[in-house]
Amino acid sequence: MSAALLEAGIAFGRVAFIMAFVLNVAAILGWVERKQSAIMQDRIGANRASIFGFRALGLFHPLADTLKMLTKEDFRPARADRLLFELAPFVSVFFSLVAFASIPFGDTLTIGDRVVPLQAITLNVGILYVFAMLSLGVYGVMMAGWSSSNNYALLGGQRAAALMISAEIAIGASIMGVVMVYGSLNLQDIVRGQGTLLMGWLPAWGIITQPLAFVLFLTAGIAATKRIPFDTPEGESEIIGYFVEYSGMKFGMFLMTDMVETTVIAGLCTSMFLGGWQVPYLLADGFHLPWGAFLAVPALVVTLLQVGSFVTKVAVMIFILMLIRWTLPRFRYDQAMRLGWLGLFPLSVLNIVLTGALLLLWGAL
Amino acid sequence: MKLGQRFYLREVVSGLVLTAGHFFRNMGKHIAHAFGQKSARGAVTIQYPEERRPYSPRLRSLHRLVRRADGSPRCVACMMCETVCPAHCIYIVATEHPNPDIEKMPERFDIDLGKCVFCGYCVEACPEDAIRMDTGILEFSSYSRRGMIYSKEMLLSLEPVGADGRPTSPVPIPADRTP
C-alpha cells in the first residue's frame, strides 16, 4: 500500500516538476519577450507595474496582464458555435502543455534502491508523442477559426492548418536524421546517446552530428509555434487571425499556447541537438576530462548539474527563438508555404539520404 | 537578387548578428549602469513623466496673461487676438479700467483650449505684449469640454517657464474638476 502511494507520489512529483517548469517559463516568457525586444531595440520595455512601489524590472507585468485578462468580459459572438467556441482555447493549451511530458530533464535519480527517471512519462516513442501532441494542438486553432463565424478567423484557422501541415512534415523528416544517428525514438535514449565523445574530445551533440537537421528543425519548429516570422495564421496587420473573436482569458490562453509551444520547441531542440541534460564530459560518477583528468562528483550533484544544464540550454534556445522572432519580418502566406514544401521538406529528405549514406560508410556512431 | 540573398539563411544570420549585437551591447551598458556607472545608458528612452527632454525656448505652450505691477492684466481688450484667432477660441468681454490713463481692460478673457490650435497668432497680434505662450505647460487636460475653457484668473496666475525649461507654476485645475 505504502509502496503504491510512494510510486504515485514520485509520479506526481515528476509531472508536477514539468508542469511547474513549463507554466512558469511560459508566464515569464511574456516578460522576456518584452524586455528582450526592448533591449534589442535600444528601449527600456514595460516597467510600470508595481507592488508597493517595487517595480522589479517589470516582472509584475505578466501578473497584471493575467489579472486584466481574468477580469475582462468573456464575450461570445451570437452566431458562434457555442461548444466549439468554448472548447477551442482549452484544446489548444492542453495539447501544448502535455507535449512537454516526454522530454527528459535529467538522467535517473537513485533514491535508496529506487531508480526514478527524470521525465514525466517514459515513452519509447517519445518524439512521436511530442509531435502528435503538437499536431493535435492545431485542432484548437482550427476549431477557434471555424466556430467564431467570422471570415477573418476562418482564414486564420485555415492558414494555421496549412502552415501546420507544411511545418509538421518538415519537422518529421528533419528529425529522422537524429533518430537514425542515435538509433532510438526514445528522447531519453537520444540524450544518452549524445553523451559519447567524437574523436575523444567533441561531445556528440545533435548539432554537431546533424547540423543541417538542426537548422531545418529550428525553422520548422518556429513555424509550428505560429510566431513571427511564420505568423500568417495571426497576421495582425491583415487578418487578425483565428482568435479575433476571443476576449478575456480565452484569448490569454491562445497567447499562452504560443508561449508554451515556444518552450516545447526549445526543449525539443535542447533534447535532440544540444545534448539535453548532458554536461560535457560529466558521466554518472564525475568529470572525465579528455586529457585524462578525473574529478569525482557526488551523485546528487551530478543530477542537479544535469537538471541545471537542461534548464540553461532551454533558456538559451528560448533566447535564440526570441531573437529570431524580433529580428525577422513575416513571411507572406505563399512564401511560408513555398519554404515549407520546396525548401525544408526536400532538404530534410536530402538530410536523411546523406545521413544514411554516411552511417553506411562509417558504421554506426 | 544575388544567390546568397536568395538562399535567405545568410541574410537571416547577418540580421541576427545585428540584433544580438544591439542586445549584448545594451545589456552590458544596463549592467554597468546598475553597478554605479551612471554615464552608461543602454536605452535612448526618456521616461516621460519623471524625465523630460529640454523644450525649445520657442515652444508654444499654455497661454498666460501678463500682469501689470499692481497685478491687473496688461491686456487692454483691443480684441486683436480675438479677431486674428483662426480657431475662434478667445472670448473677451471689455470693461472700463479704473485708471483713466488706461482705456479698457477685459472683464472676461476666456480661452477655449479645446479649440485652440496653438498657432501663436494671438501673441503676434497683441500690441501690448499682454498674452504670451511661454509657460512651458503642456499637460493640461480635462474630462469635459467645459473644463478646457481657461478663465482670465487662471491665465493671470501663470508664470513664465524657468531657466531650466521646467514650468514654474502648477498646471491650473480646470473648473469642472475637484483636486
For residue A166, is it left (φ>0), alpha (ψ between -120 and 50) or beta? alpha
User: What mean pLDDT, rounded, does chain A reach?
Assistant: 87
| Per-residue pLDDT reduced to its tens digit, A184-240 | 899 898 998 888 888 778 888 888 888 999 999 999 999 888 888 888 888 778 888
- Chain B residues with CB-CB distance to A40 below 8 A: 19-20, 22-23, 26
Distance from CA of A232 to the nearest CA of B (A): 19
Mean pLDDT across B150-163: 89
What pLDDT does residue B178 have?
63
| Per-residue pLDDT reduced to its tens digit, B2-21 | 776 777 888 889 999 999 99
What pLDDT does residue A101 have?
87
Domain span holding position B28: 3-34
B163 inside domain: no
Best of A41, A44, A228, A339 to disrupt the B interface (most B CBs within 10 Å) is: A44
Question: B73 and B28 share a domain?
Answer: no
Mean pLDDT across B55-83: 90
Above 70 in pLDDT, residue B23? yes
For chain A, the residues whose C-beta falls within 8 A of a C-beta of chain B are 36, 38-44, 215, 323-324, 326-328
B52 inside domain: no
Question: B13 and B91 share a domain?
Answer: no
What pLDDT does residue B54 have?
81
What pLDDT does residue B175 have?
66
HSE-CB for B108 with a 13 A CA cutoff: 9
What pLDDT does residue B177 have?
67
User: What mean pLDDT, rounded, does chain B reach?
Assistant: 88
Question: B142 and B77 share a domain?
Answer: yes
CB pairs below 8 Å between A and B: how many? 42
- Max mean pLDDT among A1-5, A250-254, B90-94 falls in B90-94
What pLDDT does residue A168 have?
87
B58 inside domain: no
Mean pLDDT across A23-40: 90
What pLDDT does residue A7 have?
83
B57 inside domain: no
Q: Is-contact A336 A166, C-beta < 8 A?
A: yes
d(CA B123, CA A291): 84
Question: B18 and B85 share a domain?
Answer: no
Mean pLDDT across B59-74: 90
Question: B89 and B138 share a domain?
Answer: yes
d(CA B129, CA A146): 68
B125 inside domain: yes
Question: B102 and B144 share a domain?
Answer: yes
Mean pLDDT across A116-129: 84
CATH code of the domain covering residue B138: 3.30.70.3270
What pLDDT does residue A1 have?
63
Best of A33, A40, A332 to disrupt the B interface (most B CBs within 10 Å) is: A40
What pLDDT does residue A113 have?
76
d(CA A126, CA A102): 5
- Indicate yes or no: CB of A44 within 8 angstroms of CB of B15: no
Q: Give how many domains chain B has, as a whole number.
A: 2
Model confidence at B129, pLDDT cuts 50, 70, 90, reads very high
Model confidence at A126, pLDDT cuts 50, 70, 90, reads confident
* Residue B67 β-bridge partners: B73
The ipTM assigned to this model is 0.85
Question: B126 and B76 share a domain?
Answer: yes
- Chain B residues with CB-CB distance to A326 below 8 A: 19
- Max mean pLDDT among A13-27, A314-328, B38-52 falls in A314-328
Mean pLDDT across B42-68: 87
B76 inside domain: yes
- Indicate yes or no: CB of A323 within 8 angstroms of CB of B16: yes
| Per-residue pLDDT reduced to its tens digit, B79-120 | 999 999 999 999 999 999 888 888 899 999 999 999 999 999
Q: Which of A25, A100, A60 is nearest to A256 (CA)?
A: A25
- Chain B residues with CB-CB distance to A36 below 8 A: 23
3-state percent helix, strand, coil for chain A, nearest multiple of 5: 65, 5, 30
Question: B68 and B119 share a domain?
Answer: yes
- Chain A residues with CB-CB distance to B28 below 8 A: none
B138 inside domain: yes
- Chain A residues with CB-CB distance to B16 below 8 A: 323-324, 327
What pLDDT does residue A313 have?
94
Question: B13 and B81 share a domain?
Answer: no
d(CA A20, CA A1): 28
Q: Is-contact B119 B127, C-beta < 8 A?
A: no
Question: B25 and B74 share a domain?
Answer: no
Q: Which of B106, B111, B107, B119 is nearest to B148 (CA)?
A: B111
**Percent of chain A scored above 70 by pLDDT?**
99
Question: B18 and B98 share a domain?
Answer: no
- Max mean pLDDT among A12-21, A75-84, B115-124 falls in B115-124
Above 70 in pLDDT, residue B56? yes
The cell numbers describing A69, all together, are 485578462
- Chain B residues with CB-CB distance to A228 below 8 A: none
- Indicate yes or no: CB of B27 within 8 angstroms of CB of A323: no
Mean pLDDT across B61-71: 91
Which residue in chain B is spatially nearest to A216 when comparing CA positions?
A: B9
Least confident of A106-115, A258-267, A355-364: A106-115
Question: B100 and B149 share a domain?
Answer: yes
